[in-house]
Amino acid sequence: MRTQTDEGYRHALGNRQVQMIAIGGAIGVGLFLGSGGRLAATGPGLVLSYAAAGAAAFFVMRALGELVLYRPVAGSFVEYAGEFIGPWAAFASGWMYWINWAFTGIAELTAIAAYIHYWAPGFPQWLTALIALGFVMSVNLVSVRLFGELEFWFAMLKVLAITIFLVVGLVLVVFAIGQATPHNLVSHGGLFPKGFPMVLMSLQSVVFAYASIELVGITAGETARPHEVMPKAINGVVWRIAIFYVGSVALLAMVLPWTAYRADTSPFVTVFSGLGIPWAADAMNLVVITAALSSCNSGLYATGRILRSMAMKQEAPRFAGTLSSRYVPIGGIVFTAAMFLAGVALFYFLPERAFNIATAVASLGVITTWGVLVWCQIRLRRSGHLSVFPMPGSPYTNWLTLAFLVLVILLMPFADRDQRVAFFLIPALAAAIALGWRMVSRRRTVNGGRP
């Protein structure tokens, strides 16, 4: 049985917060910002890309659910990797997850600066990013309960915005108002106007859009009654994937021709602006900023817990294991915030590509995390464990999911130049992690096997 002293945390998150953190993780800037550019580059066939990635995400979440109910722990998949694969896997997956959030945070801060610039073009964008970082870091450092409350309201705003769009979009399509019609899926060059390969090339950005769904597993270490709360939260994420992601992209492709969308404009703003609603752009701009703040907020929360779990095993800097008097992993949070701050410089050197490069690199961490979860669930089953929340179709669905993730990586060098940058970083990342693990192993040998 898990006790408070096992992790050092308080069980400050209840069902309401965990449910909303799960929703917040399943609705991100990848949908609010990225879907417009991908529709413009891919066409209506993007719906298939979202459906395929959504199916993979479904199995990842159910694998996570089985692992969480086996042993709820704040270290989440890092702890599972250590138990079911080996200590080296825990080390590698923990740092790859940190890379995911470090680059995601850079992307989100870049987005916040750009969208505040929409309202205040004369205000320095670097200062906007700094203020946003200071805000989310303060929230995380104060208390877990404050984080949960803020994320609850962030998620509420995102869900409200998506729900309004779904209702309005359905009305437009059903009553054929304006240009809205199901024929938009095929009447402007067909379902694949730029060829089916473009659908495959979009998979990386779509996987990034689904990133952070696994965050609900990390909350397990600070959740009261996890065996009751977690199955509900995980199942909730699954059906929201189908509605909020696949449903939204399908409606976007029907409400307007795919040629109406642009990479530099939120597709939701494009739709509402076309209806002649004067305040639509400002309202959606606020939602996009909120989504970006929510992502940064969640990133600091997640990496703080992961880094502390690793620091306790001397696999991360010692100060990353520091726990404040409010039971907050202050060291890990500050460590990630420093990376966020350093990464903002990317915006100055490559302002037009910073967001895409950051999301492409972040996707490598997402794919690693998903792969680790699916593989750990295979090993859990092989150990003879009988779960009360089993992953459907295992082990066949595990292998299909792993094959999908490998396909996404193999396609990256054939996509755009930003994905190629991320792909060719893989050897450097692997070498750095291997070197780090060698140093950790050598230290343990000197210490007689102790962390």
Domains of the chain: 7-404 (1.20.1740.10)
Q: Cβ atoms within 10 A of the Cβ of 79, count?
A: 22
Cis before 121? omega within 30: no
Query: Which pLDDT does position 159 carry in this prediction?
Result: 81
Helix (H) or strand (E) holding 142: helix 125-142
Query: Which pLDDT does position 406 carry in this prediction?
Result: 97
Query: Which pLDDT does position 13 carry in this prediction?
Result: 59
Segment 363-387 shows an average pLDDT of 93
Furthest-apart CA pair in the chain: how many Å? 73
Whether the predicted pLDDT of 233 surpasses 70:
yes
- pTM of the model as a whole: 0.87
Whether the predicted pLDDT of 41 surpasses 80:
yes
Query: Which pLDDT does position 5 carry in this prediction?
Result: 33
Task: Tell me the per-residue pLDDT of 288-340, one tens digit each, with 9 for 90 and over.
Answer: 888 888 888 877 887 888 788 788 888 999 898 888 887 788 999 999 988 88
**What's the pLDDT band for 377 if we cut at 50, 70, 90?**
very high
Query: Which pLDDT does position 218 carry in this prediction?
Result: 65
Query: Which pLDDT does position 431 carry in this prediction?
Result: 96
The single residue listed with the structure tokens 């969208």 is 115
CA distance linking residue 4 with residue 7, whole number of Å: 6
Q: Mind giving me the DSSP string for 148-160?
A: HHHHHHHHHHHHH
Encoded tokens for 310: 């690793």
Query: Which pLDDT does position 451 carry in this prediction?
Result: 63
Query: Which pLDDT does position 4 carry in this prediction?
Result: 37
Task: Tell me the per-residue pLDDT of 163-195, one tens digit each, with 9 for 90 and over.
Answer: 889 999 999 999 999 899 999 999 999 999 999
CA atoms in the 13 A half-sphere facing the CB of 383:
14
The answer to whether 81 and 378 have CB atoms below 8 angstroms apart is no
Q: Cβ atoms within 10 A of the Cβ of 239, count?
A: 11
SS3 assignment, position 440: helix
CA distance linking residue 17 with residue 21, whole number of Å: 6
For the chain, how far is it from start to end, CA to CA, in angstroms? Answer: 24
The residues, any chain, with a CB within 8 Å of residue 69's CB and separated by 6 or more, are: 226, 227, 230, 231, 387, 388, 389
